[in-house]
Amino acid sequence: MIRSSTKRLRLCGVVVAVAAVAGVVGVCSSANGAVVTVPTDLNIGDHYRLAFVTNYTWYGYETIDYYNTQLTNTANHINYADPDVIALGAQWYLLGSTGASFARDNTGTNPGVSTGVPIYRLDGQRIADNNADLWDGTLAAPLNLSPKGTAPPNVGTTYVWTGTQANGTGYITLGGSNPNLGNYTSTANWVNAFTTSNSSSLYWLYGISEVLTVVPEPGSLAILSLALLPATRYRRRRVAR
């Protein structure tokens, strides 16, 4: 079951806008200037999800619980993920299917159950507007960035274990002998590249986060208070007169 969580995530827009009014100049960015964990087109209170392709490869014969656990471990390990991704402390789920659970059910993205929320790559690029858009056959951009915000290492393949067809249901699922593959360079064949491989082969995986919620950081509130001080003092001086 997918859980929803409110994380303390950076929201730059509100702080920058208020700071500009107060004559304060500042810059808000990721630790390395590349990974975006709070998309810039969102507001406080908005819900969203993040997705990635792994930066190392896996076998295709494991269980859904194993993949979910390993994807969460990957996104929370300094060797494989950007510090801003680790700071989320999020749970991550396989965008793929086994015989026990299809991708859209394992990830809580079944459009027949819920509308869902926007889904983004780790550079802030929106790849789907909601659950129906995720499983309509085409992404808005390739799901080709790892938890570090970089492309996977060049190991001679861009195939991804999915065991899934375009609508998010299982198709020659993982855990079997020759699961279905997707391609992380493609927007149309990202989840179904119409090819299979022996499950003892090594390919990438897709991961998607739990539902995240944009809230301001304490530092953002402090800047907001500081920005409003001149206006407050001016009003007090006028009253004194």
Q: Could you tell me the residue ranges of all domains in the chain?
A: 45-213
Class of domain 45-213: alpha beta
Given CA atoms 174, 80, 193, 48 in this order, what sign does their dihedral have? positive
pTM (2 decimals)? Answer: 0.82
Query: Helices 12-21 and 218-240: crossing angle, nearest 10°?
Result: 30
∠ CA 131-134-139, rounded to 5°: 155
Residues of the chain with pLDDT under 50: 1, 3, 6-8, 10, 12-32, 221, 224, 226-228, 231-241
From 203, 144, 194, 185, select the one nearest 164 (Cα to Cα): 194
